[in-house]
Structure 1
């Protein structure tokens, strides 16, 4: 919006004249409550209710100090009379005063923003959120550090990327990595993965190595993993090797865990190159309450749930790993 500015001369009840520059706007605010109090304690009251509750002029901080004086009288807790060129002004909390006209649960917001350029005689349109007078958004800014930013967060971007790239191919859902940037600053890491494999083989006993090999063969037969040729310069997309180890609980079969946090010198790990995404775990309290609402509860589990999701071909080469076959000891 734009609004012309004019110079006006104010003459107060104390015969003080001051010239101020004001902008002409169609509306300042709704009517303000008027409090009644004992006026005999001061010589001149600025607002004696003779002009009603309407607001005709709003004086900003650029002129406010010039009108105020030093005098101050306490009427009650949190309520004072302060002296000004207009007379004594009521300042503070008037809710506890008797005979006070009130308008409950009413909030009026009018927003005007003046040009920073002194030569500009107009108000200018403010930035968001004031431009749209979005009150809910305006209040939410007071919770910075508690509420999320109104802009799309990284978690939102990760979810959108997942929904946009998800594909169903040959009876399996396939996804792509939610890269923070592409191509990523990701090292090949072949040397680190090879060193970790040799250390792993030397550390495990024959029975554990056999179990390790059996698990990988099952995953190979189930198309969870695949054998690939050694990387070369003809591969245009990123290539990265992961270290891995086996985790085995007492009385349970082992589980292979891949280490995506290793990084090369001056490079990032695979984890650091990806959006983490939001936590989608169910609230445990809600689950327990739901569990108690019906007579019969059924619990189900998806076997090897994470292995049921495939990676699209262009992103598979960043999850390469090395293994030594038992038959010939060849690393592939």
Structure 2
């Protein structure tokens, strides 16, 4: 399958005028895309369904091409005859490929964060590591004592063409809107301020007619923001060959995958800390040889002038990766310097706590907070980054059972044709779900997952797994016991829609056990606990038998059992009655009001009891 490819097929030019057009008209055949444009492809139709679109009518033209009627209208196939062949000539080549049906449950790829197949994770990490290593080799410190980077170009990326005409049209549209809204002068002042600060620069007059790629821009107005009016640049704007700058650049690792781990660290200790880098992207310079793909147009005395970015541009697909990789490189370099060896603890904490320009972590005391704030500010300043710190409390996501319902509704309507209205029953279910979401604002969840320090408590993790015919789920609670009290806190939860192909409940229960084992492994890799008790709970005696007995089960069962046995202790797996299993709720889904009434995030009542 090609869902992971940025480009499957480049743009195809429209059919231009020639004697074949008149021949088509004479036969009452009208083509809708006869022009000189070069538009990107909107939809690719697989060879497995192409035959269903053909009506059977065709007409062989004298020039050698063939007009074929489809249910979408007439199309032209073949090579246009000409003495001067152009690489932009339109032609159609049909290649038969078998593509398996896409499972709709794959569309929520973010839902598998922390529970991804280890083999898939390993190959992905190797590719990401290679991208990072190539990028790090290009980073230097320039004469302004600022980190300077090359854009992370994809290997064998498609050719990027000049799109100045498109940028000129977009400039006029933006200018008209700014003047209509009375914002033109303010917008101009923002750009002139950037020019003074070296964020952008003018392209020398003698270079204006040289090759360059342009980023169209528009304004965004936020009345209550500290930055009221700001330009936004479109690096997805395509040139005539259908290629954009974003398609040519690496995006690096998926930074969203870091969020669960960071939120766990944020809840781990008594005081939560969030810090950020002021104007982070603008602190990193772009090497001069790459700046001509970051050009844009603006006005000077009512005449268009050419400018370009000299710093990393917010809105370019690789920018978050560039910032994250540069910050990590900076901290790793500091860790090797003797003068910062006393701050090594803060350096390690910073390396593991950054999400783009935000540092999210937690500390055990006010003394540690003040030390981290002081040292982190100094460390980041060494790289030209202004680090701002403050204390904050914030809950994490806990609505896993509620979020299952829209996925199930989407699975139901996936079999409908695109032009058929959604059934009234499904429409009403969705609207009811949507309007109840606001009730979540009433819920308050403690940020700190414990109420005492490590030396004063006994900690255990409890992983519950369950499945229904529609979904399977895993939930992790942390149980903290002191001499006077017992606390239960939700640590992590995941639910997955069952595959479209019907499976037996025991096999779905095994899938739940698998993601439970993976999720616990992910938590342990994030949270620092020297000793902890771990319990895995399932209400399926069949699954417990599969895990605890070393036998040659069927392939589906065998593969998952071997993974579970590898990353968990089989003696930790225990039976729980179905009515006592809190994973039942996310495996079936529920309304927001039901979730609030259940106080699901507080764990089952029986878990507060002593083991006796």
> Could you state the TM-score of these two structures normalised by the residue count of structure 2?
0.28
The structure with the largest alpha-carbon Rg is: 1
The higher-RCO structure (CA 8 Å, 6+ apart) is 1
> Could you state the TM-score of these two structures normalised by the residue count of structure 1?
0.50
Which of the two has greater helix per residue? 2
